[in-house]
Structure 1
Amino acid sequence: MRAISTASPGRAYQPWYNILYVQVLFAIVLGVVVGWVWPHLATNDWIKALGDGFIKLIKMVIAPIIFCTVVSGIAHIQDARKVGRVGIKALVYFEIVSTFALVIGLIMGNLFQIGHGLAAKPDAAAVQTYVDQAKAIKSVDFVLNIIPDSVVGALARGDILQVLLFAILFGFALMAMGEKADRLRSLVDDTAHAVFGVIGIVMKAAPLGAFGAMAFTIGKYGPAALGNLIGLIALFYATAGLFVVIVLGLIARFVGFSIFKFIAYIKDELLIVLGTSSSESALPQLMEKLERLGCSKSVVGLVVPTGYSFNLDGTNIYMTLATLFIAQALGIDLTFSQQLTILVVAMLTSKGASGVTGAGFITLAATLSVVNPALVAGMAIVFSIDKFMSEVRALTNITGNGIAAVFVSWWEGELDHAALQTALKRRIDPSDFETPRRGNRVPRSVTQGE
C-alpha cells in the first residue's frame, strides 16, 4: 500500500508508514491508549522522559537557528531601512490580531457563562509557584530582560528575545561591513544549513516524543480529571477554532489562499505541537516551510521569532476565557471597565511568554493579580486542566505566526504567489532534507521524489 500524493507524474510515492505525520499521529493515539489503560506505566519517569527529552532536543537548536536566520536575513539586505519597516509592520499586525483574539475570548466567555454554578474549592497553595513567578512580571523588567548580560549566556539559556536582539545588531554590523563580511555571511549561512541538518535528524525521534508526552498526560490526569471543567475546555477549543477559521481565515483569503490548505501544509508541525504541547518544538521546521511557501527569507527570519513573544493568539484567548471563567466560578462579577482592563493587561502580560507548556498559566496569574487580586486563588480551579488546553494554545500560536509571516511578506511585496499556490498543493516530509548549495535549501522529497 502506498500513500496518496498530489505529486506530479514521475515522482516516486512514499510508503504511508514512512511519512512523519502519520508516525506522529499513530504515536499520539497509542499514547492515549497506554495512558488510559495502563496509567501506572504511563506515569513512569522514563515514559515522561521521552516527551521531555524530545522537547529538550528541539530547544537545543532554537537559539542557533534564530541567530543564524535573523543574521543572514538582515546581512543580505542592502537597505537598512527595510528591517525597521518590516519590524514596524509586524508589530502593527501583531497588536491588531492579538486584540481580535482577546475580544473574541471575552465575547465567548460572556455569551457562555459556564463558570456559574461550578462546585469547586480552590486550593491557592497548588498554584503558589505560578503566582510567585507572576509577581516578577513587570513592564520595566520585561524590557530590561531583552538586553542580555552576555551573548554567550543568552545563547546558553535559549532566551529568544535576547538572542533576537543580538542577532539584529550583529546582522546590521555585517550589513555595514559590505563586501568585507562576505566570508562571515557565508559562514553563517553554512552554519544555518548544518543546524537544519541536525533538525532533520532530531525529527526522526518526533513519534517517540509525542508518544511519551501524550501517554504521561492521560496517565496522570485521566478523562475523569476533566469533571465539570469539560465545558471550559470545549469552549476554549471552539473559540480557538473560530479565531483560526474566521480571523486568520479572512486574513489568508485577503492575501489569496485558503486557511484550510495552509493548515494542511503545516499539519506535520501541528501534530508535533499537539503531542508535545510546545509550539517551540516546531519552530525550525515552520520557518523552513514558510520560506518554501514563497515568503521572503528576511521577513520569515524577523517575523516568526518575534511572533513567539509578541503574537501569541492562543494564549490571549486562553487568558480572557479563563479569567471570566474563574470570576464566574467564584461568584465575582466583573464590571465592564474591569473586563476592558483584562484586554489591556493581557496584551502586556502575554508578551514574552514562550511556547512552552505552563507559560500561559504564569501569564494568567499576572493578569488576574492586576484585574482583581481575589481571582488569583481561583487559579487552582483550572490548574488541573491547564495541560489539556495548552495543546490548543500552542496550535493556535504556531498557526497565527505562520499566517503573520505570509501576510507581512505580502505587505512587503515579497510574497511569491506562484510558489505559494504550488507549495500548498505539495506534500513534504519535514524530516526529509538534503544539504543543498548555499542559499537554496530544498527537501529531498522535492528533488528526488517522495
Structure 2
Amino acid sequence: MKFRLPLAGWILLAMGLGVLIGYTIFLSAPDKASATEIAGHISIVSDVFLRLIKMLIGPLVFSTLVVGIAHMGDAGAVGRVFGKAMLWFMTASLLSLAVGLIMANVLQPGQHLALPLPPVDATTSLQTSAFTLKGFVTHLVPRSFAEALANNEILQIVVFSMFLGVALAALGEKAQGLIRLTDELAQAMLLITGYVMKLAPLAVMAAMASTVAINGLSILATFAVFMRDFYLGLGVLWVLLVLAGTLFLGRRVFSLLHLIKEAFLLAFATASSESAYPKLLAALDHFGVKRKISSFVMPMGYSFNLDGSMMYCTFAVLFIAQAYGIEMSIGTQILMLLTLMLTSKGLAGVPRASLVVIAATLVQFDIPEAGLLLILGIDTFLDMGRSATNAVGNSIATAVVAKWEGELTTEPQTQAEIADEGAPAAKSMAS
C-alpha cells in the first residue's frame, strides 16, 4: 500500500520549511527594509489563500445555515439551539477570561521585565471605540444582506440566514425547490473549499517564512518569558475545555480532537481562525454532528466563543499593568473581567480584535495604552495560539450542543454512514 502523508503532516513540514526559509532571508538581507520587501513578495501566497477562504466563508455559512434551519422544522427548535449555544459560549468566555486573569496573577509575566518601557504618551494608532448596547444590537442586523456578504460580517449573515431558514421551514412544500437550490449551493461551496485547501501547505510555508524573515527568531528569545507564560495559560485552558467536553461527550472528545488536528494546525500556522472553518465543519461531520447543528452553532461561535482571544485579553492587560508597576485590586480585576465579557462581544469581527479590545480596556482602567507596543512585535506568534484555541473551543462547543439536542450520532452509526455514503461533507443535508 502506497504511503500518503496526511494534510496535517504536510502542514507541519511546511511550517518547518517556512521557518528555515524565513530565517535564511533574515540573516542574508542587508537590512530590515529589504527583508520586509522580500517577505511581502513571499506572503502573496498566504494572502491569496486567506482571501480565498474569506471569499468562501460568507456563501458557505449562508447556504449551510439556511438549509440546516429549514430542516429543523420550526422557530422553537432554532430558539432552543440558540439558547443552549449561548449558555455554553457565555460560560466558556467567563472561564477563558478567568484563566487569563489567574495565570497572569500567578506567573506575574510583567514583573522584572528586562526591556525598556515605551513612553506612557506613545500612541499605538489602533482605532478604539466605546462599547454601547445600542451600537452592538443595531450592528447585529444587516442594512443589506449583500453588504453583510461583501464585508464578511458573519453575525449579520447568521441573522439573515436564521430568518430565511425559519421562513422556508414555515412554507413547507412550497419552499422545497429553493431549499434544494440552496443545498446545491452548499455542496458547490464545499467542493470549492476542497480545491482551496490543496494550497494550505504552501500558504502555511509562506506565512511562516514572511513572519520570520521580518522578525527573525531573536524576538522570541527577547519575549521568551511572556510567550512561555502565555502558552502555559493556553495549555491550562485547553485542558479545561477538554475536561468540559469529556463531561458531556465522554472519551469521544479525544476522537474529536484527532479529527480537528488539521484544522488546528492550519489555524495555528496562518494565525487565522477563519482558515480553519471549512475543515472544522468537515471534521464535525465525520464526528457525527448533524449539519443543521454545526452550520448554526459554528458561525455563532466565531463571534461569541473566541476562547483563546478572551484568555489573551485579561492576560495581556495584567501583563502591561505589571510592566508599568500598576497595582490592580481583586475588585478592579473582576470589574475588568466583567467589562471584557461585554466589550469583546461588541467588537467581534473587527480586524485584530484582541488588540482593539485590549487598547480600549487599558484606556478605561487608566493603564498606559503605550504598553501595547511591548507585545505588538510578537502579536503574530501569540495570534497563532489564540486562533488554534478558538478552533478547539468552537468544535467542542458545537459537539456538546449537538449532544444536548440528540443530533450527535454514535461512533458506529457515523462510521456506517461514512462507509455507505462517503464523506458527510459531500452528501445532502436533508437528514
TM-score by length of 2: 0.91
Letter matched to residue 203 of structure 1: M
1:402 equivalent among 392, 395, 399:
395
Aligned mates of 1:396, 1:435 — CA distance in 2: 23
Aligned mates of 1:323, 1:416 — CA distance in 2: 42
The equivalent residue for 1:26 is 13
The equivalent residue for 2:65 is 70
2:316 equivalent among 293, 314, 322:
322
Letter matched to residue 374 of structure 1: I
Listed one character per residue, the Cα deviations across residues 14-61 of structure 1 (whole Å, up to 9, x for unaligned) are 6334x2222221111100011112224864222011111111110100
2:104 equivalent among 109, 115, 118:
109
Per mean C-alpha deviation after superposition, the further-off stretch among 355-364 and 300-309 is 355-364
The equivalent residue for 1:147 is 141
Per mean C-alpha deviation after superposition, the further-off stretch among 54-63 and 236-245 is 236-245
The equivalent residue for 1:175 is 169
2:358 equivalent among 364, 373, 376:
364
Listed one character per residue, the Cα deviations across residues 199-221 of structure 1 (whole Å, up to 9, x for unaligned) are 00001111111011111111111
Aligned mates of 2:328, 2:205 — CA distance in 1: 41
Indicate how the Cα distance of structure 1 residues 263 and 124 shifts in structure 2: closer, same or farther if over 3 A, else same: farther
Does residue 98 of structure 1 match 2:93? yes
2:263 equivalent among 257, 269, 280:
269
Does residue 439 of structure 1 match 2:429? yes
Does residue 378 of structure 1 match 2:368? no
Indicate how the Cα distance of structure 1 residues 123 and 224 shifts in structure 2: closer, same or farther if over 3 A, else same: farther
* 1:248 shift after superposition: 2.6
Does residue 61 of structure 1 match 2:66? no
Listed one character per residue, the Cα deviations across residues 318-341 of structure 1 (whole Å, up to 9, x for unaligned) are 011111110000010011121001
Letter matched to residue 4 of structure 2: W
Aligned mates of 2:97, 2:249 — CA distance in 1: 23
Aligned residue for 1:120, secondary structure, equals: coil
The equivalent residue for 2:116 is 120
* 1:151 shift after superposition: 0.9
Q: How does 1:326-365 map to 2 (within 5 A)?
A: 326-351=320-345, 358-365=352-359
Aligned residue for 2:159, secondary structure, equals: helix
Letter matched to residue 177 of structure 2: R
* 1:437 shift after superposition: 5.2
* 1:353 shift after superposition: 5.1
Aligned residue for 1:16, secondary structure, equals: coil
Letter matched to residue 393 of structure 1: R
2:219 equivalent among 219, 222, 225:
225
Identity %: 38
Letter matched to residue 184 of structure 1: L
Aligned mates of 1:84, 1:345 — CA distance in 2: 27
Aligned mates of 1:438, 1:28 — CA distance in 2: 35
Does residue 16 of structure 1 match 2:16? no
Indicate how the Cα distance of structure 1 residues 57 and 419 shifts in structure 2: closer, same or farther if over 3 A, else same: farther
TM-score by length of 1: 0.87
* 1:281 shift after superposition: 0.5
- Equivalent residues, number: 418
CA contact 2:69–2:292 (8 Å) conserved in 1? yes
* 1:306 shift after superposition: 0.2
Aligned residue for 2:367, secondary structure, equals: helix
* 1:231 shift after superposition: 1.2
Does residue 297 of structure 1 match 2:285? no
CA contact 2:248–2:403 (8 Å) conserved in 1? no
| Unaligned residue ranges in structure 2 (runs of 5+) | none
2:273 equivalent among 270, 274, 279:
279
